[in-house]
């Protein structure tokens, strides 16, 4: 089945009672049982919900996986993965990553005896050097947030398997339209479904997809026991978003390329971070493991000051100054004070995230209008 057909029909079964083509929103907390333990497959909505079940089946299908689990947020999905571990276990993670993930690792899980080792995952020799006998998980983002670094998923998968460690890939920036980490050897794929999967900035949700039935049962137990589950309305919204994911991603990619090229030609811009440039260090790997380069771009101005960056950030009109990404509307963001503020400044600077870095989530508006907006703001 071709990808566009898959996205539209994934998880979609007409409602048997009415024939409704859209999955109903089952707004219920519990289900009547015929006798104790005798039910129609649903007992209590924290454990199961028909709308959520349809979404989880769709998530698995679009990521070429066997099992999907939906969570109340991307961070909740990440939290569930780390709860697979025990005190004394180690996690190798990318030094460039979403600030909320870093905060979860350092402020919540480190105090429970889990050690996090950060390294440049674009260099497989550094990943190998970071792995020890205690490594139980390798956590990747590719492209990374916000520097758009590319990691060879298949290459890291080989390292993870030799170490008997799980490999989890945060696929939020790429989306299943551009990249399928399970096909490249990952054990778990994580999404902040808030972003491209939902696509309309109207839902908070997360997802995990995997092929192992054993892993699914462990993660489902965590999901059910800890209760970080999405409501049926949120599941409905993400199901609806998936149906147009391929259309939106095509436009995100077209707009992203046009704006990245324009930014690079702008004399006031010092550097543009976008994996689609042929001279980008990760271009060859991105070309191999992705179907396109996406609509996420970061850049630095030649006037390398936070004050100048703030001026630009506050001067756009079509690009809305806000956290998040992946919606149909374009957003502009200052990672150092917004999405990555929880990472200590010295760590940010060491990893290449400057105080003046600007991140764009390029939407699906007309690219010429977006360029004109940036042109006026940059000056």
Q: Could you give the residue numbers annotated as active site?
A: 46, 98, 170, 195
Give the integer Cα–Cα distance in Å for 313 and 374.
Answer: 10
Helix axes 50-62, 232-242, angle to 10 degrees: 30
What one-character-per-residue DSSP string does 261-325 give? HHHHH-TTEEEEE-TTSTTSTTHHHHHHH-SS--SEEEEEESS--HHHHHHHHTT-SSSEE-S--
Sheet containing 115-119: give its strands across.
Answer: 67-71, 206-210, 188-192, 166-170, 135-141, 90-94, 115-119
What one-character-per-residue DSSP string does 36-105 give? TTB-SS-SBTTT--HHHHHHHHHHHHHTT-SEEEEESSHHHHHHHHHTT--TT-EEEEESS--HHHHHII
Q: What is the dihedral of CA 199, 189, 333, 365, to 10 degrees?
A: -30
Beta bridge partners, 272, equal 299
Pairing between strand 67-71 and 206-210?
antiparallel
Give the integer Cα–Cα distance in Å for 140 and 171.
Answer: 9
Q: Are 280 and 257 in contact (CB under 8 A)?
A: no
SS3 of the chain: helix, strand, coil, percent, to 5: 40, 15, 45
Give the integer Cα–Cα distance in Å for 76 and 54.
Answer: 20
What one-character-per-residue DSSP string does 197-233 give? TT-SS----EEEEES-HHHHHHHHHHHHHH-----HH
């Amino acid at each position: 089945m071709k990808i566009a057909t898959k996205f539209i029909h994934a998880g979609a079964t007409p409602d048997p009672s009415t024939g409704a083509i859209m999955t109903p929103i089952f707004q219920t907390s519990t289900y009547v049982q015929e006798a104790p333990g005798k039910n129609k497959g649903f007992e209590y909505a924290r454990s199961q919900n028909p709308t959520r079940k349809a979404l989880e089946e769709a998530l698995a299908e679009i990521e070429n996986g066997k099992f999907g689990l939906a969570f109340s947020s991307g961070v909740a999905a990440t939290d569930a993965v780390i709860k697979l571990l025990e005190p004394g276990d180690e996690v190798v993670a990318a030094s460039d990553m979403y600030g909320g993930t870093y905060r979860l690792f350092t402020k919540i899980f480190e105090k429970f005896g889990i050690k996090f080792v950060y390294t440049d995952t674009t260099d497989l020799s550094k990943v190998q050097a970071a792995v020890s006998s205690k490594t139980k998980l390798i956590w990747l983002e590719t492209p990374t947030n916000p520097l758009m670094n590319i990691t060879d998923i298949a290459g890291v998968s080989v390292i993870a398997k030799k170490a008997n460690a799980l490999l989890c890939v945060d696929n939020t920036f790429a989306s299943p339209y551009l990249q399928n980490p399970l096909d490249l050897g990952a054990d778990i794929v994580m999404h902040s479904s808030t972003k491209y999967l939902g696509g309309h900035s109207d839902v908070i949700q997360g997802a995990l997809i995997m092929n192992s039935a054993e892993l699914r049962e462990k993660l489902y137990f965590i999901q059910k026991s800890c209760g970080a589950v999405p409501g049926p309305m949120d599941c409905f919204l993400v199901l609806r978003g998936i149906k147009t994911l391929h259309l939106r991603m095509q436009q995100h990619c077209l707009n992203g390329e046009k704006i990245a090229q324009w930014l690079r030609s702008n004399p006031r811009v010092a550097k543009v971070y976008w994996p689609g440039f042929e001279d980008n260090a990760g271009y060859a790997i991105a070309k191999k493991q992705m179907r396109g380069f996406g609509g996420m771009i970061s850049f630095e101005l030649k006037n390398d000051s936070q004050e100048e960056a703030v001026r630009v950030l506050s001067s756009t009109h079509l690009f809305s100054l806000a956290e998040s990404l992946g919606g149909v509307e374009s957003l502009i963001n200052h990672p150092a004070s917004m999405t990555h503020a929880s990472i200590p400044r010295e760590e940010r600077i060491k990893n290449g995230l400057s105080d003046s870095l600007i991140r764009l989530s390029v939407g699906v508006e007309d690219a010429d209008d977006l360029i004109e907006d940036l042109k006026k703001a940059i000056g």
